[in-house]
Structures are given as structure tokens and as C-alpha cells.
Amino acid sequence: MDKYIFCLASFLVFFNCKKTFSEGENYTIETLMSNNRSSGGYFSKDASKLVYSSDKTGVFNIYEVDLTTKKEIQKTNSQKESYFVQGYSPLTNEIIYSADKGGNENSHLYLIRNEKSIDLTPGEKTKASLFGWTKDQKNMYFQSNSRNPKYFDLYKINIETLETKMVFQNDMAYSYNSISENDKYLVFELSISRNEDKMFLYDFVSKEKIEISNEKANYSGQGFDKNDENYYYTTNYEGEFYYLMSYNITSGERDLIYKTNWDVRNSYLTKNNTYRVISINEDAKNRLVVINNNDKSTVNFNGFEGLNIDSVYFSENEEMLRISARSSKSPGEIYTYNLTNNELNKITSNLNSKINPSNLAEGKVVRYESFDGLKIPAILYKPKNATKKEKVPALVWVHGGPGGQSRIGYRPLIQYLVNHGYAILAVNNRGSSGYGKTFYSLDDKNHGENDLKDCAWGKYWLQKQEYIDTEKIGIIGGSYGGFMTMAAMTFIPNEFKVGVNIYGVTNWVRTLRSIPAYWESSRNQLYKEMGNPYSKDSIRLYNISPLFHAQNIKNPIMVLQGANDPRVLQIESDEMVKAARDSGVYVEYVLFEDAGHGFAKKQQQIEGYSKILAFLNNQLKQSLKK
């Protein structure tokens, strides 16, 4: 399910900071949120400029850096909506970006022309995304559901005249993977179930469709080579984890390209096929491998010791790279790297200089046994002051999804809570991605049951740690993690002293019946995992929905919600809060009128996170002193 999950990636890393403050200092949320987040990082055609997005103004805007002079220019000045850069037009060198309204997820594509933004994909309910460029670079491919909200058709737009033409009509909920270099072939896939995809090669000229997926398994497209002789894809057919394969367009022959003991998340070839980039999900952190295809050597980057490289992006001439790197103690930075002379330049400076990274928590991967002996991976964040003599309260943190994964990296809320004396165990309960297809499928139509027990056993593991106050352990999570939080508070009400539900599902019947139309391509997969709300599965979905069991809640809860959330509707949290209050439980409710499924604006995070800490201090840390 993880390939359908929207994740807003942010990359910040601490670099060359002088130590001017004391160890163990507690930071305000304003100090922690004064860090900036960055995303993107795309070269102009001649690699003289780099464009990226940053929330240094409070919302994401677009910035362009002249790589020769190092001068930076802010290209947009949005005060309300976040703008996420998608790259340059290779023909006109104009900037393309995407933006929705108030977190409603109906993102449009915009072109900055003559200092003005042009909406390339208008329509109140239209959702669109960039898909690539034609070989002559005169036309941009994009996908849009403007014709039918359930299906994404493929279009191309002439970047000079802005004339738009549909090139493929999608009536089967296909998800697009790749388009060939010669504009002849399109690869798309169809989700059959959680464990099966079908992948097809479509010929624009002959209209012929050939199935690439030759066995029942999961498939994910990874692009063509420069001559369109081979197509590359990942699959988990022969094993637990995804590996990289090639498919010869002419002969249909297949070859193994790369395999390891973890999932190959994605891979691509650079413009001239000189390098192959491979990204691996290795035990909750990213491992990046860049192979020089001329001599099969692995490219090593100097200056990133101790940092986790999340992604790289090559310039068209293959001499420059944008590198996004981070550590678990600080959100990441964007760098440029010159392969000809190994010159490294840091583009962003995102960490607040008032923050000492040594005061922040390093995420540590641990494993514990659950109720049935299954080993559950988790990430532990331990406060600096936690000792046998000075025990601290703790929280079990549950990721989003279903099928998500907690990974090593910087999360401001986690660092804020740990910095103020809360240990956090971010569990990757059964059903989480990244640990093989068997582990991934263990919670199919079992949510709120064995996966919830994994969370409870995480609590028991925490209680065995000598520095944990065993009577002060709560649970927190967002989206699916919010559901798990409320499931814990309703179905095992004596286990956790408090629960913090961040836009969590509490009525699965409604949620699955009201999923956005543009999720049509993943509907079968979601129903396979959770159950079909229009079948007898609805009985079980009702039974596992916390809303209908609010009378069981015994301990304080907090709920945070965005009014524009298209995934978990506001009414879901409204009804949960009312039902809990009607049962006599203390409930704190925080509603953001201009937020969606996630709080993108700094001010939203400052308000929400500070209220979470105050709630925990009052209801958990001080609970036994009342």
C-alpha cells in the first residue's frame, strides 16, 4: 500500500554548527519550528541554476539559485498555499510547480511565465501531476482526472502555445509508470489486489497492449533505457523483497539487474545511461547506490559521513548532482555535487543555529517480541535525561497507512516531545511496509486486532527499560496511527494512560465509502486489505471502528483534525469527540480550518504541537500527582 501513500518529504541536516549552548537544553516549539523544510531541487537545462521549494516563509515557496554566483532569488510569494516545484521546462527554462487549496489534495500544475503563474490544469475538482517531456522537449506530459474524477487520463501540452491534447484515455483505473524516450510506448499498471498488479506496455501507434507482468506478484515500473530497447521494473515475485529486472521490448527476455535482502524502492538511468541510481529501504533507512555503467564501479560521495542520502538528481549533462541528505537529529539539506572535481556545495541552511544537534535524539532501531513471538521492528528515541534514577514517561508512536513505515529521520514533533522528556517508541507493527511481503500482509482484514497487540507489546517492552516510568505510557499517531490510537483507547482501555489522535480514522465504514474518487486505482488493494464496505465485511469494519465503542474509553484523549481533509473527513473527528465526551471522558479537540490530511503550515504545527505537549504534561506526566 505504501506506493499510494502520500508523503511530504522534507530534507534538513545540521552542518558545521559551533557549539554555543549547553547540553540538555529544552527548546520551545517556536525554536524547533524555526527550522526550514526543503523539497525538490532541479537543474536548469545547462545546469547553471537549481530550483527548490522551502517553507522558510511559513508556507512552501519556490527559490532559484544561480550556481555560479550562489545568489538566491525567491520566485513566488505565497502567503496561504504551499507551492512545490516540479522542475524547469527544458525548452523555455520556465518553472513548473504544483499547488492545491487548503490541503484539499486537488493539486494543479502551474507555469511561471513573465513573473505570473498560469494554471495549466484548471478545474475546481481537477487533480493533475507532471509526467515527463516529449523527446523534442516541446510538450509536457501530465495526468489529470478532469474528464472523470475516478480516472487519470494522459495529456500533453505544448509549452509555448499551451495547447492541450489528450493522448491516452484511461477507463480502467490504470496507474502510469513510464513513457519511452521516443514517445512510442507507455507503461501502466492495474492493481488487482494487495498482492497482485498487472503491468502493460502500450504502443501509441498500433494501440497494442502487451502484458509485462508474467507472474502473480507486485510490480512497479522504473523506466526505459535511452534507446528504448529495455524496460526496467521491480517485482517481489521470487522472494519477500522487491528486486530490479529488465524486460527486452523486442524479444520479451528478462534479466535480473539488482537484488538484495531489502526492498529496492526505485531505480533510474541517467540521461545518457552513464549511471544507474538504486534506492534501497534498508531496515527503516534509505541506502542509495549509484553505479557507473561504463566500469560497473560504485560512485562514492565525499562529505556525507554520518548522513543518510535520501535521493539524488542528475543534471542533463550528467556532471552535476543534487543530493538530499539528512540525519535523524536534524531535517535534511540540499547539496550540489560536481562529479568532475568532487566539489560539494550546500544550497540550504535549514537548521536553526540556536539548536545544538547533540541535544536532539538519535533514532535507534530495536526489535521486540510480540504476543505470538513475532519480532516487531521499531525506532527508539530516548531523552537525554532518562536514567534509572530519573525515569521518564513514554509514548508508543504509530505511523500512517495502512501499510506505512516509521523510518529513521527527523520529525519535529518527535524531537519536541523527546526534548521535553518523553521517550518514544515508533513501532512498525505487522502490516508495515519494508519488511517483506509476508510481514506486510499479516494485518489483512485484521486491523485493530493483532496489529494493536503489537502496539501493546511495544508498551510492555518499554516497561522493561529501567529508565521508563512504567505507569506513564501513552499512545500517539496520525491517520492510520490515529485509528490505532483510538482503537487502543476503546478496545484495550486500561493499557495506555492517554491517547493523541491526529486526523485518525474512527469510522471505517464511512471512510472506505467516502475515499476520494481519484483513489480508484488503489480501491481494490485497499478493499483487499481492509474489507469491502459494501459487503458483509462492513460488519467487521463496524466492529473495529472506535466511534461505535466510545463508551469503553477510560482515559483522556486529544484529537487534531484538518477541516479540508479529503481522506479522513472532519465529521469523523467531530463525532468521535462528541461520543467520547458523552461517555464522560476528558477530550481536547484542535481543529484547523485551513488544513487537510497533514498540517503543512508552520503556524499550524506550532499551535498543534505545543498543545500536544501541554496535554501530555497535564494528563500524563502529572497524572499521578493529582
pLDDT tens profile 150-185: 999 999 999 999 999 999 999 999 999 999 999 999
pLDDT at 20 over 50: no
CA distances from 146 to 143, 151, 187, 284 (A): 9, 9, 21, 37
The per-residue pLDDT of the chain, averaged, comes to 92
Mean pLDDT (whole number) for 271-299 = 95
Peptide bond into 566 cis (omega under 30): no
Is 525 a member of any domain?
A: yes
**Given this model, what pLDDT does residue 24 score?**
63
Give exposure, 6-27, as e/b (b: 16+ Cβ within 10 Å): eeeebbbbbbebeeeeeeeeeb
- Strands across the sheet with 185-193, in order? 175-179, 185-193, 196-203, 209-211
CA distances from 586 to 206, 383, 562, 619 (A): 65, 28, 21, 9
pLDDT digits over 339-384, tens only?
999 999 999 999 888 888 889 999 999 999 999 999 999 999 999 9
pLDDT digits over 77-135, tens only?
999 999 999 999 999 999 999 999 999 999 999 999 999 999 999 999 999 999 999 99
Between CA 11 and CA 313 the distance in angstroms is 14
Q: Are 194 and 529 in contact (CB under 8 A)?
A: yes
pLDDT-based confidence at residue 574 (cuts at 50, 70, 90): very high
Nearest to 53 by CA among 72, 70, 34: 72
Mapped onto helix, strand or coil, the DSSP state of residue 73 is strand
Contacts of 170 (CB under 8 A, 6+ apart): 151, 152, 153, 154, 188
pLDDT-based confidence at residue 227 (cuts at 50, 70, 90): very high
- From 2-6, 160-164, 218-222, 600-604, the region with the lowest mean pLDDT: 2-6
Mean pLDDT (whole number) for 5-10 = 32
Count of structural domains within the chain = 1
**Residue positions counted in the chain:** 626
Between CA 148 and CA 189 the distance in angstroms is 18
**Given this model, what pLDDT does residue 229 score?**
97
Is 96 a member of any domain?
A: no
Is 535 a member of any domain?
A: yes
Find the distance separating the first CA and the last CA of the chain, reported in whole Å: 44
**Given this model, what pLDDT does residue 76 score?**
97
Is 117 a member of any domain?
A: no
- Percent of the chain at pLDDT > 70 equals 96
pLDDT-based confidence at residue 69 (cuts at 50, 70, 90): very high
Is 152 a member of any domain?
A: no
Between CA 146 and CA 143 the distance in angstroms is 9
**Given this model, what pLDDT does residue 8 score?**
30
The DSSP H or E segment spanning 538 is helix 537-543
Paired residues of 220 in beta bridges:
234
Between CA 285 and CA 290 the distance in angstroms is 17
Rounding to the nearest 10 degrees, give the CA dihedral for residues 51, 185, 175, 213: -130
Between CA 346 and CA 360 the distance in angstroms is 22
pTM: 0.91
Going 243 to 13 to 475 to 7, the CA torsion angle's sign is negative
Record the cell numbers describing residue 391, joined without a space: 525515569
Rounding to the nearest 10 degrees, give the CA dihedral for residues 257, 260, 263, 269: -30
Q: Are 496 and 459 in contact (CB under 8 A)?
A: yes
Q: Which residue has the cell 473527513?
A: 569
Q: Are 151 and 516 in contact (CB under 8 A)?
A: no
Q: Which residue has the cell 559521513?
A: 305
Is 380 a member of any domain?
A: yes
Mean pLDDT (whole number) for 233-257 = 97
Is 417 a member of any domain?
A: yes
Between CA 107 and CA 571 the distance in angstroms is 23
pLDDT-based confidence at residue 623 (cuts at 50, 70, 90): low
pLDDT-based confidence at residue 409 (cuts at 50, 70, 90): confident
Transcribe 62-103 into DSSP letters.
EEEEETTT--EEE----SSS--EEEEE-TTT--EEEEE-STT
pLDDT at 435 over 60: yes
Strands 587-592 and 557-562, how do they pair?
parallel
Give the ranges where 196-297 is alpha helix by DSSP (H).
Answer: none
pLDDT at 17 over 70: no
Q: The domain containing residue 515 runs over which residues? A: 361-625
Give exposure, 126-143, as e/b (b: 16+ Cβ within 10 Å): bbbebbbbbeeebbbbbb
What is the residue type of 580? A
pLDDT digits over 293-334, tens only?
999 999 999 888 878 899 999 999 999 999 999 888 878 899
What is the residue type of 63? Y
Mapped onto helix, strand or coil, the DSSP state of residue 196 is strand
**Given this model, what pLDDT does residue 353 score?**
85
The DSSP H or E segment spanning 352 is none
The CATH number for 595's domain is: 3.40.50.1820
Is 445 a member of any domain?
A: yes
CA angle 491, 495, 496 (to 5 degrees): 100
**Given this model, what pLDDT does residue 92 score?**
96
pLDDT-based confidence at residue 13 (cuts at 50, 70, 90): very low
Phi, psi of 188 (to 5 degrees): -140, 165
- From 199-208, 211-220, 261-270, 597-606, the region with the lowest mean pLDDT: 597-606
pLDDT at 5 over 50: no
CA angle 414, 51, 349 (to 5 degrees): 45
Mean pLDDT (whole number) for 441-445 = 91
